Amino acid sequence: MAKMTMVQALNLALRQEMGKDDRVVLLGEDVGVDGGVFRVTDGLIEQFGEERVLDTPLGESGIAGMAIGMAVYGLHPVCEMQFSGFSYQAFHQIENHAARMRWRTQGRLSVPMVLRAPYGGGVRALEHHSESREAYYAHTPGLKMVIPSGPRNARALLVSAIRDPDPVIFFEPKAVYRAYREEVPEEEETLPLGKSTIVREGHDLTMITYGAMVRPVLTAAEDLHQKGGVEAEVIDLLTVSPLDDTLFTASARKTGRVMVVHEAPRSFGPGAEVVARLVEKAFYYLEAPIARVTGYDVVMPLFSREKHYLPHAKRVAAVARRLLREG
């Protein structure tokens, strides 16, 4: 198995799916000759030609709207929003059409498209390049909202997203893009959409997170273990919507103490839905109030302050210790 960065793993997923299925075409700004500003689509135009890797004019609505038409015609377009912060210019296409075409046509037509977008902070980027607005998409019926956390699951989830019969919004944590390498098998690997996973087992505390926050949460869990023998269970959602609540509600029943960690703003964020599910399905097992460690409800600050905005391992561990003392 080769060790790959997330960028390389995503590239592998695209390359293999394009090789297997001529319905898969890529479109976006700078995805062709330039290979994408993060190089996720590097080399694909050389391998598959301009016909399957479309460098589009600037225009996010154009990219999403055109992809909807392609999907209606039977293709499986994968479009790239250069940064998720620009995807709002395509939002009306996604909400008004991609998410509804199956429903509107009573299943006659569907929109099997993937909209990829790098999201999140931590790379000292410009304004509009660091936000985590997955809640907009998770809140929209008809969409699936997927966020991988590492190279291997990114590859497996992207393959599943491309093959999915419904529109998938696929947010890629750009802070993880080149942060580390992981073994990624050359042979095909998929992960089901709508399924979470336990990445660290434990019985004292449940930590629920996804995307770029999985690493700081694991670091915090390790710290809790080393400095106090606490065994935290860490759950990676992988798919934000439809939300798989089976593992985290079971875990909450076991530990009685739960925290949710994400870099998106707190109010009405994905954590709010997680907490609501816990209240509905595990309330009587809880021994302490559920804690949320999240981005603040402010405009994502420019990068000189982003380290204070983004949840980090020390903050997560501190909240976890408080949670363990409560109740």
The one-letter code for the residue type at 304 is S
- Is the CB of 66 or the CB of 286 nearer to other proteins? 66
Given 71, 135, 259, 291, the residue binding other proteins (CB under 8 A) = 71
Say whether residue 165 binds other proteins (CB under 8 A).
yes
Q: Is 175 left (phi over 0), alpha (psi -120 to 50) or beta?
A: alpha
Part in contact with other proteins (CB under 8 A); list of ranges 54-62, 115-123, 212-220, 289-297 = 54-62
Which amino acid does the sequence have at 99?
Answer: A
Is residue 129 part of the annotated active site? The answer reads yes
- Considering the complex, what minimum distance in angstroms separates the CB of residue 78 from other proteins? 13
Mask: binding to other proteins, 105-144, rule CB under 8 A, as x and -? xxxxxx------------------------------xx-x
Q: Which is nearer to other proteins, 28 or 151 (CB)?
A: 28
CB of 275 closer than 8 Å to CB of 303: no
Contact, 80 vs 31, CB < 8 A?
yes
| 103 scored as a contact of other proteins (CB under 8 A) | yes
| Distance from C-alpha of 240 to C-alpha of 233, rounded to nearest angstrom | 18
By CB under 8 A, is residue 291 in contact with other proteins? no
179 binds other proteins (CB under 8 A): no
| Residue type for position 217 | V
Residue in 76, 92, 128, 129 annotated catalytic: 129
Binding test (CB under 8 A) with other proteins, winner from 6, 53, 81, 102? 102
Residue of 306, 285, 134, 118 whose CA lies nearest to 209: 134
- Count Cβ atoms below 10 Å from residue 253 Cβ, excluding itself: 15
* Angle, vertex CA 248, rays to CA 243 and CA 251, nearest 5: 170
Counting beta carbons within 10 angstroms of the beta carbon of residue 126, is it exposed (0 to 12), middle (13 to 18) or buried (19 or more)? Answer: exposed
Q: Classify the phi-psi angles of 211: left when phi > 0, otherwise alpha if psi is within -120 to 50, otherwise beta.
A: left
Stretch that binds other proteins, among 66-74, 148-156, 214-222, 287-295 (CB under 8 A): 66-74
Contacting residues toward other proteins, per CB under 8 A: 25, 51, 54, 56-57, 59, 61-62, 64-75, 77, 89, 92-93, 96-97, 102-110, 141-142, 144, 165-166, 194, 242-245
